[in-house]
Amino acid sequence: MTTELTEAAIAVLRANDRGGHTVPTAASPRAAQRSWDSSLAALGLAQFDEDRAWTEIETLLAGQEPDGMVPHLLVHGGELGDAPDGVAAPGLTHPPVATTAARHLFERFGVRRSRPRLRTLAPKLLAWHRWFAAARDPEGTGLAAIIDPEESGMAGSPAWDAAPAPFRVADIGFNAILQRANRDLRFLLDMVDDRAGMAEVDRMIARTRAALEACWVKADGAYHSRDAGSGQPIRQPGIGGLLPLYADPALATRHPALPARLERWLDQAAVAVPSVEPGQPEFDPRRPWRGAVSLPVNWMLYDGIKRAGRRELAARIRRDSMAVAARSGFREYFDPITGEGLGGTDASSTAAMVLLFAGLED
C-alpha cells in the first residue's frame, strides 16, 4: 500500500507543479503560490526531486518585500483574476514554514550540495524573521501579532469567534510555528557561519520562549492566544493550543496536561487529529479548523510528540494520516469521525505530508 500511495502522492505534486511553484490543489489557479502550501510542498518534493524542492522555496522568497515580509500569496504571470504579477492581498503573511523546510532540505541533502543555495536563502529568511519582530511585535513582547485570520493558516478556527476588533491577535499556533522556525533558522545561520545572525536569533528565541510560557493557562491545561492590544487570553478551543509541542518538545514533560489533552482528543476520534476537541460546542467534524483533520498540522504534532519521547502517540498520528489518505484520497481535510475527505482534491500539502510520513519510522 505504501508504494502505491507514495507513487500517487508524487503524481499529485507533479500534476500541481507550475514550473517554479506548486499550486495548493488541482482546482487552484495556475498562477497561485500560497506560502503555507508551497512550503509544505517543498517537504514532499524533497522526497523525490532535490532541485525542484529548493526551487519551490527560492521562488517563494523571490517575492519577498523590501522590508523582509514574505506575502501569504504570490501571483505569477498575472493570471489570478485581474491581479497583476506579484502579490495578491498585499500586507498579509503566513507562518515561516519555509524556514523549517529549508532546514529539512539541508539536512537531507548534506552540506556540500546544500550550502551554496543556503548562502542565498539564509539572509532572506533572517530578513523575514526580523520583519516579524519589527512589524508585528514592535514592543518586543516575544509574540508576533497577526492582523487577519488568514495569516494563521487556520482561518476557520473558533479562536476567531472572540477575536478583538480591530483584529490584532498573538495567535498561539502562529507563534509556536514561528518559534520552531526561529530554532531552525539559528541552525541554518550556523551552517553559513553567520555569528551575528545567530546571536540575533538567540534573542528572538529567548523572548518568544518566555512569552509562550506566559500563554499557558493551567486551569485549561492548554496554551491560549492573546489579544495583542490588551494582553488578555482568548480562551477558545482549537488545535493551535497544542502546537507549542512542535516548538518545544520539552513542554510535554513540563506540562503533562498538554499531551494528555492531545490523547483525550484522540480517544474521541477515529482519525487523528481533530482540529477541535470532539464533544465541545464548537466541534464540527466537517468544517476546516473546527474539527476536520489537517495532515500538515498532524505532521507538526507528530514531530513534537516524537521528539518528546512519546513514540506510541506519534506513531498513531502517522498511521492515521497515511491510512486516511489511502482511503479517502489527497483531500485538503478529513472528517475525524468518518474519515471522509473534505475540501479540495489533489491537495499538494496532503500529498507532501504522505511522502514525509512514508519516509519516517515509528
pLDDT digits (tens, 9 = 90+) for 85-122: 555 556 899 999 999 999 999 999 999 999 999 999 99
Q: Please, which pLDDT band fits residue 82 given cuts at 50, 70 and 90?
A: very low
Note the pLDDT of residue 318: 98
What pLDDT, on a 0 to 100 scale, did the predictor assign at position 221? 87
SS3 call for 227: strand
> Residue 79: pLDDT band by 50, 70, 90 thresholds?
low
Query: Do 151 and 92 form a contact (C-beta atoms < 8 A)?
Result: yes
Cis peptide leading into residue 324 (ω within 30°) = no
Cα 234 vs. chain centroid, distance in angstroms? 21
| The three grid cell numbers given for residue 63, joined into one nine-digit string | 517575492
For the chain, what is the mean pLDDT?
Answer: 95
CB distance 273 to 317 below 8 Å: yes
Q: What is the pLDDT of residue 77?
A: 75
What's the CATH number of domain 2-358, 1.50.10.10, 3.40.50.1980, 2.30.110.10, 3.30.565.10? Answer: 1.50.10.10
* Angle of helix 97-109 versus helix 111-136 axis, rounded to 10: 170
Strands (E), the chain: 32-34, 73-75, 86-87, 169-170, 216-217, 222-223, 225-227, 233-234, 333-334, 341-342
Structure confidence at residue 78 (pLDDT) = 56
Span 189-213, pLDDT tens digits = 999 999 999 999 999 999 999 999 9
Gap between the Cα atoms of 27 and 344, Å rounded: 7
Percent of the chain with pLDDT over 90: 91
* pLDDT value, residue 203: 98
Neighbours of 67 (CB within 10 A): 11
Give the pLDDT score at 141.
Answer: 97
Nearest to 124 by CA among 190, 42, 189, 64: 64
Residue 130 has pLDDT above 90, yes or no: yes
